[in-house]
């Protein structure tokens, strides 16, 4: 009996050992078949380790049934290494190999690869600039896919990068771009950007096509955008129409005029100052920026009012801070520091972001100089300290005020 029981126990033991061996073997096999594309992707997109990523991705290209992603990532890896790790490539004698691989793979790039690149642009990674350059180097083959996405909106988060690609490709793709501008399925915002690209490139041969396109479209804002592009291409007679657009009833016209007003040669600055009170925030923002180009000391009051305008965006207010600082640096905003301190200490500015911007402006060198040179009777540093000590309760604002006080104590 005992011998039989021992035999059964031995069989159980052997069975367990065999099962454990099978499990371990299975685990090893699973470990062996982990797709190489995963570490390759992580090393490239997550860590920027292009040379390490290449080794994983080369194996993934062999192992993967669908090789598109591995091939797209390899092209990025070679490109990123060439742009970011040239010294290391040279040290390891890999520069020629990587350049040849990039050239070969760029030539083989097809629509499926391009869409993978679009996806990576949409995700926003450290390789962004290299992906943009790859698409630009591919050239005309990329443009139809980009323009189609202005309709489909599948990669909407990448549209800013798409515009960078189109700018880099330039005049070779203008025929396709003109067709897109006349396409009713493409958004108004995309058409505005496409028209701007044409104007920026400065190819005067596009003047006639722009005039023809303007006659085909009905949107007044787009027509004004074309006027601005034509002005950039040498049609200076459009200057008056652009300036007149600042007071047009159609908001799209005013926006287009405001975007391009900085390009004009000596427009009426009184019209720009009036436009600072436009009901549209985009118009105000572009006028604020234009007033650094077309300087008028009389703009300071309206700019000052924008700092706490509840209808203006943070971007417009930050642009206002920069323009007021520009005026102060150029001696065109005397007394601005006194006015800002009075605004901060005597007004109830509920939005703490407004208070942060005001204190940051006060901390600019030109405004610090105004504070230190002010009449001692005004006692501006003391007013800042009293406000810091007794009124302000937001830590971010207090941090900015503290920076100013430390500078003033030196």
Q: Give per-residue pLDDT as tens, 221-254.
A: 999 999 999 999 999 999 999 999 999 999 999 9
Residue 18 clears pLDDT 80, i.e. is over it: no
How much is the pTM? 0.83
Residue 24 clears pLDDT 60, i.e. is over it: no
| pLDDT at res. 16 | 54
Residue 29 clears pLDDT 50, i.e. is over it: no
| pLDDT at res. 2 | 43
The burial class, CB within 10 Å (0-12 / 13-18 / 19+), for 204 is exposed
Rg over CA atoms, the chain: 31
User: How many angstroms separate the CA atoms of 368 and 363, rounded?
Assistant: 6
| pLDDT mean over 75-88 | 95
Residue 274 clears pLDDT 80, i.e. is over it: yes
Residue 381 clears pLDDT 50, i.e. is over it: yes
Token pair for 385: 């300290």
| pLDDT at res. 36 | 82
Token pair for 259: 């975007």
Token pair for 232: 């950039």
Span 105-163, pLDDT tens digits: 999 999 999 999 999 999 999 999 999 999 999 999 999 999 999 999 999 999 999 99
The answer to whether 245 and 254 are in contact (CB under 8 A) is yes
What percent of the chain has a predicted confidence (pLDDT) above 70?
91
Of 261, 260, 337, 326, the closest CA to residue 299 belongs to 326
With both helix axes pointing from N to C terminus, report the angle between 336-346 and 352-362 in degrees, rounded to the nearest 10: 150
Half-sphere exposure of 220 (CA within 13 A, CB side): 13
- Per residue, the 3-state secondary structure of the chain, as one string, reads CHHHHHHHHHHHHHHHHHHHHHHHHHHHHHHHCCCCHHHHHHHHHHCCCHHHHHHHHHHHHHHCCCCHHHHHHHHHHHHHHHHHCHHHHHHCCCHHHHHHHHHHHHHHCCHHHHHHHHHHHHHCCCCHHHHHHHHHHHHHHCHHHHHHHHHHCCCHHHHHHHHHHHHHHHHHHHHHHHHHHCCCCCCHHHHHHHHHHHHHHCCHHHHHHHHHHHHHCCCHHHHHHHHHHHHHCCCHHHHHHHHHHHHCCCHHHHHHHHHHHHHCCCCCHHHHHHHCCCCCHHHHHHHHHHCCCCCCHHHHHHHHHHCCCCCCCHHHHHHHHHHHHHHHHCCCCCCHHHHHHHHHHHCCCCCHHHHHHHHHHHCCHHHHHHHHHCCHHHCHHHHHHHHHHHCCCCHHHHHHHHHHHHHHHC
Q: Quick one: pLDDT band at residue 6, thresholds 50, 70, 90?
A: low
**Domain extents in the chain:** 38-141
Span 127-140, pLDDT tens digits: 999 999 999 999 99
Residue 374 clears pLDDT 60, i.e. is over it: yes
The burial class, CB within 10 Å (0-12 / 13-18 / 19+), for 231 is buried
Neighbours of 9 (CB within 10 A): 10
């Amino acid at each position: 009996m005992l011998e039989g029981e021992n035999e059964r126990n031995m069989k159980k033991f052997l069975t367990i050992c065999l099962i454990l061996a099978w499990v371990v073997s299975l685990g090893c096999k699973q470990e062996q078949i982990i797709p190489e594309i995963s570490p390759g992707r992580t090393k490239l997109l997550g860590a920027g380790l292009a040379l390490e990523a290449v080794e994983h991705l080369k194996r993934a290209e062999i192992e993967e049934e669908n090789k598109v992603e591995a091939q797209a990532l390899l092209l990025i890896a070679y490109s990123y290494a060439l742009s970011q790790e040239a010294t290391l490539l040279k040290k390891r004698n890999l520069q020629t190999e990587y350049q040849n691989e990039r050239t070969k793979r760029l030539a083989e790039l097809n629509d499926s690869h391009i869409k993978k690149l679009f996806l990576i642009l949409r995700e926003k990674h450290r390789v962004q600039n290299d992906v943009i350059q790859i698409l630009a180097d591919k050239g005309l083959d990329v443009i139809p896919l980009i323009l189609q996405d202005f309709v489909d909106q599948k990669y909407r988060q990448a549209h800013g990068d798409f515009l960078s690609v189109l700018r880099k490709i330039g005049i070779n793709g203008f025929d396709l771009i003109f067709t897109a501008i006349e396409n009713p399925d493409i958004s108004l915002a995309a058409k505005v950007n496409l028209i701007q690209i044409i104007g920026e490139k400065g190819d005067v041969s596009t003047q006639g096509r722009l005039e023809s396109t303007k006659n085909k479209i009905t949107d007044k804002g787009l027509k004004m955008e074309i006027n601005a592009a034509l002005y950039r291409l040498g049609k200076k007679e459009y200057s008056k129409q652009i300036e007149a657009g600042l007071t047009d009833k159609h908001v799209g016209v005013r926006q287009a005029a405001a975007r391009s007003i900085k390009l004009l040669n000596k427009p009426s600055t009184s019209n720009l100052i009036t436009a600072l009170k436009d009901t549209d925030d985009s118009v105000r923002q572009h006028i604020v920026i234009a007033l650094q180009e077309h300087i008028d000391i009389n703009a300071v009051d309206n700019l000052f009012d924008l700092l706490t305008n509840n209808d203006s965006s943070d971007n417009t207010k930050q642009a206002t801070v920069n323009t007021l600082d520009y005026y102060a640096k150029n001696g065109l905003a005397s007394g601005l520091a006194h006015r800002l301190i009075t605004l901060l200490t005597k007004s109830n500015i509920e939005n703490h972001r407004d208070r942060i911007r005001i204190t940051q402006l006060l901390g600019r060198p030109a405004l610090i100089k105004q504070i230190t040179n002010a009449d001692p009777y005004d006692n501006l540093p003391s007013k800042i300290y009293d406000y810091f000590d007794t009124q302000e309760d937001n830590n971010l604002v207090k941090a900015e005020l503290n920076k100013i006080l430390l500078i003033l104590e030196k």
